[in-house]
Chain A
């Protein structure tokens, strides 16, 4: 297998789609942060120029500039001036577990459950329809996307995202696939935090292999149930991780 930079394909379009609430540097910063953390934007990649970003996101150049200052402060991007210069995704930006934990801690439990429900609903639906529509040959290609023991956590996270995108594409619906691309850019990095634990990776493999087997067998109900069970276990792990992280990050109360 040969390697090439994955440019994230159209996941990137989701990142650069216009924001609903225009004019907020924080939103721009958050969206780009998630894109970098989740690996949609990759190490060493050049971001569009400030005016281009402003155009893509539908915000003012000054807002983009403010957001990029924030990203530089987080160490996620570096900016070089002059010929061949620009803003680049910093090395090791995606692998920062501490930053992932902070992102998780910044979410309320309600938000986590809200997003988790949407994520599980859409992906379980994809698995169900994929099982109805895919033939055995297409389904068996999914097995080629699985990571193995020797892979690092980054490769596991990437492989898992790729797997669910492939399952979404087997629904033969471009809109459903784009919706999954958007969910992955938005929430995928949070869902995949627990994959840093090798035991979780082993369980994940069991869970997704069950889904793939059901898709191969054309068992729509089994695929839906398998996906639902696997995703619920994953979301439960994320919720427990969030509780741990929130405990650790809780500020000491002032004596009164």
Chain B
């Protein structure tokens, strides 16, 4: 009955498909939640009236709370592109942790120490590509101090980026979510756009480790995500 147009063992092909499905399902749902934040923020910027940090915070807070409540993420919110707000240049309307603490306190004078997030991949890639992105795994020493995957969605108003809506998933959490999909089905690895391992069936393959895709028998791209599933080293 083996009419599959592949020379791969069925179990490996199945495992790769299972892995791809689990990744796509998780990020598909999370991006859905981020698109809601993006849409509401986009609407607010639409009338071309100046938007203040306080108004933005008020708008985003319940939306971020909903994302934090619905998905196993450690932080969520909206980060502005400089020049978009009336009263701030850089601003993070971002909540994190069990207590959903706001990252940027309001009503505090601007200090002389600066933190420019615009060079970070999670901001840079959606800015340049205009498309959603997942960054990581990386140690986010700026916000969570955790090893995370950051999903970001650009918010464009009249072709101009006003910022990105995003959420952080701890790699611990993601690994647990993926555990079932990676069990007992051969050598399957999820790699990011930098060919770094995100999660793998092989216990010796560390998250973040560089992987050479050419040493794998099969490669499966994940549409709309900067990930690939490799199989059969």
List chain A positions with a Cβ less than 8 A from chain B: 1-7, 9-10, 13, 39, 42-46, 84, 133, 135, 137, 141, 144, 154-155, 158, 165-166, 168-174, 177-178, 181
Distance between B175 CB and nearest chain A CB, rounded to angstroms: 13
- The answer to whether B119 and A141 touch across the interface, beta carbons within 8 angstroms, is yes
- The answer to whether A2 and B147 touch across the interface, beta carbons within 8 angstroms, is no
Q: Kindly list chain A residues whose C-beta atoms are within 8 Å of the C-beta of B29.
A: none
A3-B110, A5-B104, A46-B108 known; A174+B146 contact, CB < 8 A:
yes
Nearest CB to that of A133 among chain B residues?
B208
A10-B143, A44-B109 known; A2+B116 contact, CB < 8 A:
yes
- The answer to whether A168 and B141 touch across the interface, beta carbons within 8 angstroms, is yes
Interface size for B (C-beta < 8 A) is 39
Nearest CB to that of B81 among chain A residues?
A2
A141-B119, A169-B138 known; A9+B143 contact, CB < 8 A:
yes
Distance between B230 CB and nearest chain A CB, rounded to angstroms: 18
- The answer to whether B145 and A177 touch across the interface, beta carbons within 8 angstroms, is yes
Distance between A103 CB and nearest chain B CB, rounded to angstroms: 19
For the A-B complex with A44-B109, A158-B114, A172-B147 known, give 12 more contacts whose Cβ atoms are closer than 8 Å.
A4-B90, A5-B104, A7-B104, A10-B143, A39-B113, A46-B108, A133-B209, A172-B207, A172-B208, A174-B147, A177-B141, A181-B141
- Within 69-105 of B, Cβ neighbours of A (below 8 Å) are at 82-83, 88-92, 103-105
Distance between A136 CB and nearest chain B CB, rounded to angstroms: 11
| Bound complex: CA A144 to CA B115 (Å) | 12
Q: Kindly list chain B residues whose C-beta atoms are within 8 Å of the C-beta of A181.
A: 141, 145
Q: Kindly list chain A residues whose C-beta atoms are within 8 Å of the C-beta of B25.
A: none
List chain B positions with a Cβ less than 8 A from chain A: 82-83, 88-92, 103-105, 107-116, 118-119, 137-147, 194, 206-210
- The answer to whether A173 and B113 touch across the interface, beta carbons within 8 angstroms, is no
Distance between A126 CB and nearest chain B CB, rounded to angstroms: 11
Distance between B191 CB and nearest chain A CB, rounded to angstroms: 13
Nearest CB to that of B171 among chain A residues?
A174
Q: Can you list 5 A-B pairs with a CB-CB distance of less than 8 A? A: A43-B112, A133-B208, A144-B119, A158-B114, A177-B141
Q: Kindly list chain B residues whose C-beta atoms are within 8 Å of the C-beta of A144.
A: 119
Q: Kindly list chain B residues whose C-beta atoms are within 8 Å of the C-beta of A43.
A: 109, 111-112
| Bound complex: CA A106 to CA B208 (Å) | 43
| Bound complex: CA A228 to CA B110 (Å) | 36
- The answer to whether A2 and B145 touch across the interface, beta carbons within 8 angstroms, is no
Would you list the 3 A-B pairs with minimal beta carbon distance, nearest first? A4-B90, A42-B111, A2-B82
Tell me which of A4, A5, A166 contacts B141 (CB under 8 A): A166
- The answer to whether B141 and A6 touch across the interface, beta carbons within 8 angstroms, is no
Tell me which of B88, B107, B112 contacts A84 (CB under 8 A): B107
- The answer to whether B113 and A158 touch across the interface, beta carbons within 8 angstroms, is yes
- The answer to whether B139 and A171 touch across the interface, beta carbons within 8 angstroms, is yes
| Bound complex: CA A2 to CA B82 (Å) | 6
Q: Kindly list chain B residues whose C-beta atoms are within 8 Å of the C-beta of A165.
A: 141
A2-B82, A6-B115, A10-B144 known; A172+B139 contact, CB < 8 A:
yes
Nearest CB to that of A6 among chain B residues?
B115
Q: Kindly list chain B residues whose C-beta atoms are within 8 Å of the C-beta of A7.
A: 103-105, 115
| Bound complex: CA A3 to CA B83 (Å) | 11
Nearest CB to that of A91 among chain B residues?
B109
Q: Kindly list chain A residues whose C-beta atoms are within 8 Å of the C-beta of B144.
A: 10
Q: Kindly list chain A residues whose C-beta atoms are within 8 Å of the C-beta of B107.
A: 46, 84
Q: Kindly list chain B residues whose C-beta atoms are within 8 Å of the C-beta of A170.
A: 139
- The answer to whether A4 and B139 touch across the interface, beta carbons within 8 angstroms, is no
